[in-house]
Structure 1
Amino acid sequence: MRMVDQPLCLDDFEALARAKIRQDYWDYIAGGAGAERALAANRAAFARIALRPRVLVDVSACTAATTLLGHELASPVVVAPTAYHRMSHPEGELATARGAADAGALYIPSIFSNYPLEDVAAAGGAAPRWQQLYWLHDREAFGAVVDRATAAGYSALVLTVDAPVIGLRLRDARNALTLDADTLPANLFAAQDLLTTRSEGSSAVATQSLQAFDASITWDDLAWLRDRSPLPLVLKGIATAEDARLAVEHGVAAIVVSNHGGRQLDNPIGTLDILPEVVEAVAGRCPVLFDGGVRTGHDVAVALALGADAVLVGRPALWGLAVGGAAGVTQVLRLLQTELERVMALIGRPTVESIDASAVRRA
Structure 2
Amino acid sequence: MTPTDRTATPAAQPTEVGPGRRRQGEIYQAGTVGRLPVVPTSFEELERRARRASSTKGWAYVAGGAGEGRTMRNNRAAFDRWAIVPRMAHGGATRDLSVDVAGTRLSSPLLLAPVGAGQLIDADCDLHVARAAAATGVPYVFTNQGGTPMEECAAEMGSTPHWMQLYWSTDEGLVDSLIQRAEASGAAALVVTLDTTTLGWRPQDLTLGSLPFAKGLGIGQYTSDPRFREIVADRIRAAKASGATSDVKITPGAVRALLAMTRNHPGSFWKNLRHPVPRASVETFLDIYSNPGLSWDHIATLRDRTSLPVVLKGILHPDDARTALELGVDAIVVSNHGGRQVDSSIASLDALIAIRDAIGPDPTVLLDSGIRTGADVFMALAHGADACLLGRPYMYGLAVGGQRGVEEVVANIVAELDLTMALTGATDVKDVPRDMVVPNPSR
- Indicate yes or no: 2:186 matched with 1:153: yes
Please tell me whether residue 85 in structure 1 is matched to residue 155 in structure 2: no
Contact 2:336 2:345 in 1 (8 A): no
What's the CA shift for 1:201?
5.8
In structure 2, the gaps of 5 or more residues are 1-36, 237-253, 262-278
Q: Does 1:307 align with 2:384?
A: yes
CA–CA distance in 2 between the matches of 1:137 and 1:66? 36
Q: Which moved more, 1:12-21 or 1:37-46?
A: 12-21
Please give the residue correspondences for 1:1-363 in structure 2 after superposition, counting only pairs within 5 Å.
7-179=40-212, 183-189=217-223, 190=228, 199=258, 205=282, 208-363=285-440
Check 1:82–1:206 CA distance in 2 against 1; reply closer, same or farther (3 A cut).
farther
**Contact 1:66–1:76 (Cα < 8 Å) also in 2:** yes
Residue 59 to residue 276, structure 1, CA distance change in 2 (3 Å): same
> Contact 2:361–2:384 (CA<8 Å) still a contact in 1?
no
1:311 counterpart SS class:
strand
Cα distance in 2, alignment partners of residues 219 and 268 from structure 1: 21
Structure 1 CA distance for aligned equivalents of residues 283 and 98 of structure 2? 39
- Larger CA deviation: 339-348 vs 179-188: 179-188
Shift in Å at residue 16 of structure 1?
A: 2.1
Distance 1:216 1:354 in 2: 39
What per-residue deviation string (whole Å, max 9, x for no partner) do you get for residues 208-264 of structure 1? 335432122221222322211110110000001100100110000000000011011
CA contact (8 A) 2:116 2:145 kept: yes
Quick one: percent identity of the two aligned structures?
38
Give the CA deviation at 1:333: 0.8
**Distance of 2:41 and 2:367 partners within structure 1:** 24
C-alpha distance in 2 between matches for 1:66 and 1:273: 23
Relative to structure 2, which stretch is displaced further, 180-189 or 123-132?
Answer: 180-189
Q: CA 1:182–1:321 in 2, change beyond 3 Å: closer, same or farther? A: farther
Q: Which residue of structure 1 aligns with residue 17 of structure 2? A: none
Q: Which has the larger radius of gyration?
A: 2
Q: For residues 404 and 39 of structure 2, what CA distance do their matches in structure 1 show?
A: 14
Check the 8 A contact 1:261/1:293 in 2, yes or no. Answer: yes
Distance 1:314 1:160 in 2: 15
Write the letter of the residue equivalent to 2:79: F
Q: State the one-letter code of the partner of 1:362.
A: P
- CA-CA distance at 1:6 after TM superposition: 5.1
1:67 is paired with a residue whose SS is: strand
User: Which amino acid is the alignment partner of residue 284 of structure 1?
Assistant: P
Task: Give the Cα–Cα distance (whole angstroms) in 2 for the partners of residues 56 and 13 of structure 1.
Answer: 34
Compared CA separation, residues 82 and 126, structure 1 to 2 (3 A): same
Distance 1:309 1:19 in 2: 35
Which amino acid is the alignment partner of residue 326 of structure 2?
E
- Scaled by the length of structure 2, the TM-score of the pair is 0.76
Shift of 1:143: 0.6
Q: Residues 83 and 111 of structure 1 are in contact (CA less than 8 Å); yes or no, is this contact kept in structure 2? A: yes
Check the 8 A contact 2:110/2:387 in 1, yes or no.
Answer: yes
Using the alignment, how far apart are the partners of 2:430 and 2:212 within structure 1? 43
Question: For 1:99 and 1:182, how far apart are their aligned partners in 2?
Answer: 25
Deviation at 1:184, TM superposition (A): 3.9
CA shift in 2, pair 1:273/1:73, >3 Å: same
Q: Is the 8 A contact 2:222 2:285 kept in 1?
A: no
The farther-off stretch of 221-230 and 32-41 is: 221-230
Alignment-mate amino acid for residue 403 of structure 2 = A
Count of residue pairs brought into register by the alignment: 359
Q: Is the 8 A contact 1:248 1:285 kept in 2?
A: no
> Using the alignment, how far apart are the partners of 2:86 and 2:359 within structure 1?
27
TM-score norm. by structure 1 comes to 0.92
1:269-293 per-residue CA deviation (whole Å, 9 max, x = no partner) reads: 2111111111122323421000111
Distance 2:259 2:319 in 1: 42
DSSP-derived class of the 2:324 partner: helix
**In structure 2, the residue corresponding to 1:183 is in which secondary structure?**
coil
Structure 1, unaligned runs of 5 or more:
none
Counterpart Cα distance in 2 of 1:191 and 1:26: 31
